[in-house]
Amino acid sequence: MKISRRSFLTSAGLSVAATAVHANALKDEKAPPSFDFATADWNDIRDQFDLDRNYIHLATFFLASHPTPVRDAIEKYRREIDRNPFMVVEHSLFESESENLPLKVKKAGAEYLGAKPEEIALTTSTTMGLGLIYSGMKIRKGQEIITTEHDHYSHHESIRWASEKNGASYRKISLYDSSDSISEDGIVDRIRKAIKPETRAIGVTWVHSSTGLKLPLAKIAQVVNTANNGRADADRILMVVDGVHGLGIEDVTVNDIGCDFLAAGTHKWIFGPRGTGLIWGKNSAWAQLSPTIPSFDDFELYSAWMENRNPQGSTRASWVAPGGFMAYEHQWAAADAFQFHLKIGKKRIADRIHELNSLCKDGLAQNKRVKLYTPRSSELSAGIVCFDVDGLQPNEVVKRLLAKNIIASTTPYGKSYARLAAGIMNSETDVKAAVRAIEQI
């Protein structure tokens, strides 16, 4: 007999009466005061973040400060779990779909992404997402994965380990010769020329944390789709995107992007709870993976184990979502982060972030001692601005800015740059102060 949510609860020892006691516990919280995010000015939205006002924060993309709705949701769930951990967690994971809180998160994420909840697997970070994709990828000896020289440690190592485990190979290609020669057509052409018959996957990053470059993902996806014409499923090229520094900024859907998988933490530009993330994938692409960590998110897997048989059907997102107990108050509150964005408006947020970072780039470009590495064009950049100051190491630039109570960062790569990133918690005054401080140092 197939295990249902209700029969799973009964076998776990949680009676129907016990679930009824808890049925409305999470609904009894007082509703927060109404706030019209869609029409609020940016100063009011800034006030949603409990940031230390003694500093100008231009590195919040590293790890988000939670806005008020997310802080409140975390606290609400934490209180409920502390009061009754068994009943709250069992009820919220295994009760009816209308009460299922991970599903609520996936629905909110799907609304934001323009996707379906069943296409999403919840994770803890971009790193976990990339690891699950590549370690589960059905790739065989003789096939290869292509990535770029510009990708992050987490992406490169996920690819290297998966290749070594399966006897496959991998290549890193450069997408441009210098920051002065970057163009969309040039990037796309280099990827087109790199593809071979044995290419099984292409791993790219939406917005490079190394330089702030934003890739033309839709155009890259067109190249991949063309290369897939006539290929069998086992030879089809899967396009994998590290999306963490585009998600929460760009006003696009996953259909606009055109990739097979997008992995991202939701604790950066989405302002989600720390330790939360997701993988979105096409259903046809999920079928090309094998699960890596046992999932608690799909009752077919549990039914198969109970009945001593193999799971029926092809791999899907719920099979890949990692199981095990976790910080549920954080995972569940991720829904409120997506809703925070949607209430303000995706386009409004995108326009604001591009406006502030264009102001930053324009200001830095006027300084003859500054070398700007991030493209000035919004088509090729997003929310990260990377630069050098002549005669100073990047860490020295960051140190001197900190002495002026401006928090910046350096890029964690072999070739490091100083880095500023303005988000919706910043103002034009913040950006101008940072540009002026760089002139002074």
pLDDT in tens, 364-392: 999 999 999 999 999 999 999 999 999 99
Range of the structural domain that residue 145 is part of: 117-343
- Domains held by the chain: number: 2
Q: Which pLDDT does position 226 carry in this prediction?
A: 98
- Eight-class DSSP state of 379: G
Q: How confident is the model at residue 236 (pLDDT cuts 50, 70, 90)?
A: very high
Q: Which pLDDT does position 76 carry in this prediction?
A: 98
Residue in this structure with the two tokens 């048989």, named with its chain if needed:
309
- Can you give the CATH number for the domain in which 351 is found? 3.90.1150.10
Chosen domain end from 307, 324, 343:
343
Residue 50 has pLDDT above 70, yes or no: yes
Q: How confident is the model at residue 1 (pLDDT cuts 50, 70, 90)?
A: very low
The reply to whether 223 falls in a domain is yes
Asked if residue 367 and residue 231 are part of one domain, the reply reads: no
Query: Nearest CA to 418 among 379, 376, 381, 389?
Result: 389
Q: Which pLDDT does position 34 carry in this prediction?
A: 65
Residue 317 has pLDDT above 60, yes or no: yes
pLDDT in tens, 325-366: 999 999 999 999 999 999 999 999 999 999 999 999 999 999
Complete DSSP assignment for 22-91: HTTGGG-SPPPPP--TTT--HHHHHTTB---TTSEE--TTSSPPPBHHHHHHHHHHHHHHHH-HHHHHHH
Chosen domain end from 279, 312, 343:
343
Query: What token pair was written down for 141?
Result: 């000896």
Asked if residue 312 and residue 410 are part of one domain, the reply reads: no
The reply to whether 121 falls in a domain is yes
pLDDT in tens, 138-192: 999 999 999 999 999 999 999 999 999 999 999 999 999 999 999 999 999 999 9
Contacts of 291 (CB under 8 A, 6+ apart): 136, 301, 315, 319, 320
Distance between CA 380 and CA 358 in Å, rounded?
12
pLDDT in tens, 392-435: 999 999 999 999 999 999 999 999 999 999 999 999 999 999 99
Q: Which pLDDT does position 199 carry in this prediction?
A: 98
Which percentage of the chain shows pLDDT scores above 70? 92
Asked if residue 422 and residue 332 are part of one domain, the reply reads: no
Distance between CA 111 and CA 76 in Å, rounded?
23
Distance between CA 165 and CA 55 in Å, rounded?
46
Q: 162 vs 3, which has greater pLDDT? A: 162
Asked if residue 356 and residue 220 are part of one domain, the reply reads: no
Contacts of 334 (CB under 8 A, 6+ apart): 105, 108, 109, 122, 266, 270, 272, 273, 276
Asked if residue 356 and residue 216 are part of one domain, the reply reads: no
Tell me the HSE value of 290 on the side-chain side, using a 13 A CA sphere: 8
Q: How confident is the model at residue 98 (pLDDT cuts 50, 70, 90)?
A: confident
Q: What angle is formed at CA 345 by the lines to CA 340 and CA 350, rounded to 5 degrees?
A: 105
- Can you give the CATH number for the domain in which 189 is found? 3.40.640.10
Asked if residue 320 and residue 385 are part of one domain, the reply reads: no
Residue 7 has pLDDT above 70, yes or no: no
Asked if residue 350 and residue 297 are part of one domain, the reply reads: no
Phi, psi of 4 (to 5 degrees): -100, 170
Chosen domain end from 343, 373, 395:
343
Q: Which pLDDT does position 97 carry in this prediction?
A: 81
Complete DSSP assignment for 136-173: HB---TT-EEEEETTS-HHHHHHHHHHHHHHT-EEEEE
Q: Which pLDDT does position 99 carry in this prediction?
A: 87
Number of H helices, E strands in the chain: 18, 13
The reply to whether 85 falls in a domain is no
- Kind plus residue range of the DSSP H or E element containing 363: helix 346-365
Neighbours of 107 (CB within 10 A): 17
Mean pLDDT, all residues of the chain: 93
Asked if residue 279 and residue 411 are part of one domain, the reply reads: no
Distance between CA 335 and CA 103 in Å, rounded?
9
Distance between CA 144 and CA 90 in Å, rounded?
43
Asked if residue 406 and residue 270 are part of one domain, the reply reads: no
